[in-house]
Structures are given as structure tokens and as C-alpha cells.
Chains A and B, each alone.
Chain A
Amino acid sequence: MLKMTNLYDVSKCTACRGCQVACKDWNQLPAVIEPFTGNYQTHETTNGDTYTIVKFIEQIDDVKGIQWNFLKFQCMHCFDPECMKVCPTDCIKQTEWGAVIKDYDKCIGCHYCTYACPFEIPQYRKRQDITTKCTLCYERVEEGLTPACARTCPTGALQFGEREELLIQARERVKFLKANGFPNATIYGEKELGGLNKLYVLTDTPDKFDLPVDPKVSGNIGFWQNWVQPYFGWLIPVTLGASALSFVTSRLLANKAPAHTEGGHE
């Protein structure tokens, strides 16, 4: 089965954030209103009711002067999803065409997936005691529609289609950008972590967009897989029985649990 994915071309994105809202519209997500802290960016990272955000990063380029980089940020739908491997309840699945999706009925909000994710994407939704993330709008796609974010993108920065075809497009675009004032233009997602089912065309190196240059699976994963996961069958009834414990386990297991509400961005 061919992989289906989004291609996001930052050189066409105006950061209107139609995608962030369209995602909420389709996925029936409430607003998460956090105070303005000095950057246009709404949240440090995704949260339980916000599957996609747009990052705003100011850069001074020696040649071009001020640059304002925008980056749509969400689940990368890795080819080899670490979250799926660590999930104790087996609630994470991968569709044939590459969407990594969760069955929320089975999720127990343990944060394993968050901790395992190289981008720390899955985030906790308290009212249901689950962790959530972008679904690549799999139910839309399987009904023959494009994901909500790609459907709404006014400028065509976001496209949806077959990954191989989009890659050809992306290579062309990078070539064009390199020849037109962006010598560091690059593709992101083609090879990272063995391939992501989200493709980016960047006008500069990934670090200028707050993306890990060479993303890696967390070193602590070994600890999880060797020590915690084997006992998880035993832990499940406990966490289900006491939500307080779920908090404890999540703290125990995920020392980087969502703490996205405080602090400035710059």
C-alpha cells in the first residue's frame, strides 16, 4: 500500500493558522486559551485538545536580515512509531497508508507514548484521562477526503497525497529554493527516524524551525521497555482503579509530562 501524507512547504505558509482551527473544527476540540506571553505562538507544544500548532521563530540571517519562520507542528506519523511499541494497552495502530492512530477507548492516559515520542507529541487530556494526538484525519481520508488542515490551507502550503509523488515535488521545490536565495533549503521527514509520514520543505536548516536536526528515540526507552512495560499488565487495574495513581505513574514514567502552560517562548 502506498503511503499517503501531507507535504508542508514553509516557503508558502503565512501562519494564518487556518489549519490549527480547522483541526479543532473537524476533531471537535475545545479551545485551550492560555495567556499571551510575548510570542504569537499559542502553546509551547501540542496539548490534549490541540493536535496541531504553528510555531513562530524569529531569526536574524546574516545575508537576508530578519526572517520569521513558521512551522506547523503535530504528530509526524513515523514509519516506525515508538509510541506504538511502548503502549501497554496496544491502543496505537498504524493504517496501511501510514497514519498512526489511537483507539481512545483503550487508552489509559499513562503517558508512555508521550515519553517515547522523539517529538513529545501525544499530550494528556484530563477530562477523559487519555493522551491524544493528530490522527492524519484518517476517517476523512478513508472516506475520500483530504485531512482538515490540508483542505483549509489557503496558500497551498499544505498538500495531501501519495508520499512518493509529494517527495518528487518536494525535491523540485528545494532545488528551486536553493537557486532562489535559500541555499540551506532542505526536505525534512524523508529519512529522519527511518522516515516520517509527514514531509516538510524547509527554507533553512531544521534547527531554525525548532525541529531536532537528527531526531532520536529517547535513551530512557530502554528503561521503559526493560523495567516498566513488563509489569504494566499488573499496573493497569491499579491505574484504572485510582486516577490519583495514574498521575503518579505518569510522573514516574514520564519526567517530561506536559508542562506547556508557563513561560515565554523566546
Chain B
Amino acid sequence: MKVTRRQFLKVTGATVASFAVVELGFDMTATASGLKGVRTQGVKPVPTICPYCGAGCGLVVYAKEGAPADGPQLLSVQGDPDNPINRGGACSKGSAMMNLREIYNPETGEQEINPERIWKPRYRAPGSDKWVEKDWDWMLDRIAERFKETRDKYFEHKDENGIIVNRCEALASMGGAALDNEELHLIAKMNRALGMTFVENQARI
């Protein structure tokens, strides 16, 4: 991946001046008031594309290197100045991308994982009014079995005219408009292999 210096928040020593020239157009290093922050040290910039509308703005995720896996890892998410679509701009949604993972607690001001994020798979039994946490293997095995049960029960190999139709109309797949292309390729492939005809995404709603 090619990342220009503009995406780095912090560069040290001699590079500061030229870095400043890029974003501000002139050198500010002479003005140091002694109030400089140290927040930007040890932060790596990673380019991404906004997950909201279809414009495809570039953003840079500034992630703290070496932060614990189960806690906050981000400094900031800002528009990518190199992306020709937005040239560093970001609207309210793009600017709020950090909240997709982390928030600041309104009581304490502390940075923490967004409490709405789900950490483990959840299962709801028929008739129940609550979730139960389960592990991935338990869930995926059971889901695979459900697919097989429903498919085997309703699958039509040939229709009433003897035409091979290989379809299962009791299975349906929805969504996908926020996924990555590579994911879509596999989901499309899986859906057709299972014989699904009810396949719909957000393009039609």
C-alpha cells in the first residue's frame, strides 16, 4: 500500500518542516509554544473507504500500534487527503467512523469499545425472550445443519415438466450491500449452489 507522508499525523525531526508545507502550505515549526501534544506518537495510518454512502470517499484510520487486542486501539479517523474523490473531506458520518468501534464515555470521558458492539455469537431458542451466548463452532455447525434440513426437505431437482431446476424456494438470502466484493463473490456462489431463488439485497429497497 502506498501511503504518502500527508497521512502521517506525526513525523519527527527534520521531516516536520516539509510535512507542514504539504498540508498548511508553510512552516509552522518555528512557533512551538511548548504546549505540543504527544498523542500522535506510535500511530499508524491505514487507508480505508467509507462504509456509508456509495460515493467511496477515502478515510485514514489512525491506529495506535501495540494497543491491547480487547481494548481501544484508535486515535482518530479522518478523510484521506490522497483520495481523489474527497481530497481529505468527510461529512458527519465519515467523521464519526471511529464510533463504529470506539466511543468516549459521557460520564467518565474515557475511551472504550462501543457498548453496542457484539462480542460473541448469540442464540435465541424458539419461544425464548432472551439471547444466550454460544461459541462459533456450535453456531456454525447448527446453522449448516439447518441449511441442509431445509434444503433436503424442499429441494426440487426436477419440476413437473421434467426440467432440471435444482432449486430450493424455502430458503432466502438478504442483504450484502455493505460487504466487500470478495465476500459477495463467495456469498453469490454459495447461494446459487444451495439452489436459492429468493436472493435479494438493498439495491431493490
B33 at the interface (CB under 8 A from A): yes
A28 touches B111 (CB 8 A): yes
Q: Bound state CA distance, A97 and B24, in angstroms? A: 14
Q: Which residues of B contact A162 (CB under 8 A)?
A: 26
Contact B36 A25 (CB under 8 A): no
A142 engages B78 (CB within 8 Å): no
Taking a contact as CB atoms under 8 Å apart, the answer to whether B79 and A145 are in contact is no
A49 contacts chain B at the CB level, 8 A cutoff = yes
Contact residues of B between 50 and 103, Cβ < 8 Å to A? 76-79, 86, 88-92, 94-96, 98, 103
Q: Please report the C-alpha to C-alpha distance between residue A226 and residue B148 in the assembled complex, in whole angstroms.
A: 84
Enumerate chain B residues within 8 angstroms of A148, measured Cβ to Cβ.
78
Quick one: given A143-B9, A144-B24, are A21 and B104 in contact (CB under 8 Å)? Answer: no
How many chain B residues touch A (CB < 8 A): the figure is 44
What is the CA–CA distance of A252 and B44 in the complex, to the nearest angstrom? 48
- Which A79-129 residues sit within 8 Å CB-CB of chain B? 93, 95-97, 101, 127-128
Interface set, chain A 11-27, CB cutoff 8 A to B = 16-18, 20-22, 24-26
> With A31-B103, A96-B31 in contact, do A145 and B24 touch (Cβ < 8 Å)?
yes
Question: Which of the 9-residue segments A152-160, A177-185, A200-208 touches chain B?
Answer: A152-160
Asked if B109 and A127 make an inter-chain contact with CB atoms under 8 angstroms apart, the answer reads yes
Q: Point out the residue from B16, B86, B111 that lies within 8 Å of A144, measured CB to CB.
A: B16
- A20 and B96 CA atoms in complex are apart in Å by 10
Q: Are B107 and A127 in contact (CB under 8 A)?
A: yes
Q: Given the complex of chains A and B, what is the CA–CA distance between A218 and B198 in angstroms?
A: 68
The yes or no answer to B201 lying at the interface (CB within 8 A) is no
Cross-chain contact B95 with A18 (CB below 8 angstroms): yes
Q: Does B151 contact A (CB under 8 A)?
A: no
**Known pairs A28-B104, A142-B36, A143-B40; A161 contacts B24 (CB<8 A):** yes
User: Could you say which of B23, B32, B33 contacts A145, with CB atoms under 8 Å apart?
Assistant: B23
Q: How far is the CA of A179 from the CA of B146 in the complex (A)?
A: 69
- Checking B24, B32, B78 against A152 with a beta-carbon cut-off of 8 angstroms, the contacting residue is B78
Q: Could you tell me the distance in whole angstroms from the C-beta of A11 to the nearest C-beta in chain B?
A: 17
Chain B contacts with A in 116-174, Cβ cutoff 8 A = none
Please measure, in the bound complex, the distance between the C-alpha atom of A51 and the C-alpha atom of B96, giving whole angstroms: 16
Q: How far is the CB of A62 from chain B (nearest CB, A)?
A: 33
A52 to B78, CA, bound (A): 17
A25-B77, A30-B103, A138-B35 in contact; A144/B109 too (CB < 8 A)?
Answer: no
CB distance from A240 to the nearest CB of B (A): 20
List, in ascending order, chain A residues with CB within 8 A of B25's CB.
161
A176 to B40, CA, bound (A): 41
Q: Are A18 and B35 in contact (CB under 8 A)?
A: no
Bound complex: CA A22 to CA B19 (Å): 21
Query: What distance in Å separates the Cβ of B111 from its nearest Cβ neighbour in chain A?
Result: 7
A49 vs chain B, min Cβ distance (A): 7
Q: Are A146 and B106 in contact (CB under 8 A)?
A: no
B19 to A, closest residue via Cβ: A144
In the complex, what residue of chain B is closest to A54 when comparing beta carbons?
B92
Partner of B28, one of A28, A32, A49, A141: A141
Report the minimum CB–CB distance from A92 to chain B (whole Å). Answer: 13
Q: Which residue from chain A places its CB closest to the CB of B25 in the assembled complex?
A: A161
Whether A152 contacts B89 in the complex (CB less than 8 A), given A31-B106, A127-B108, comes out as yes
| Chain A residues with CB under 8 A of B95 | 18, 21-22, 25, 152
The distance from the CB of B81 to the nearest CB of chain A, in whole angstroms, is 8
The CA of A24 and the CA of B78, in the complex, are separated in Å by 12
Residue of A nearest to B30 (CB): A1
Query: A32, A93, A145: which has the most chain B beta carbons within 10 Å?
Result: A145
Chain A proximity of B198: nearest CB distance (Å): 37
B37 in the interface (beta carbon within 8 A): yes
Chain A residue contacts of B90, Cβ below 8 A: 18, 22, 152, 154
Quick one: closest A residue to B59, CB to CB?
A152
Q: Does A213 contact B (CB under 8 A)?
A: no
Q: How distant is B23 from chain A, measured CB to nearest CB, in Å?
A: 6
Q: Given contacts A18-B95, A152-B89, are A144 and B29 in contact (CB under 8 A)?
A: yes
Bound-state CA distance A160–B25 (Å) is 10
Give B contacts to A, CB under 8 Å.
Answer: 9-10, 16-17, 19-21, 23-29, 31-33, 35-37, 39-40, 76-79, 86, 88-92, 94-96, 98, 103-109, 111
CB-defined A-B contacts under 8 Å, sample of 5: A97-B28, A144-B16, A144-B29, A146-B23, A152-B89
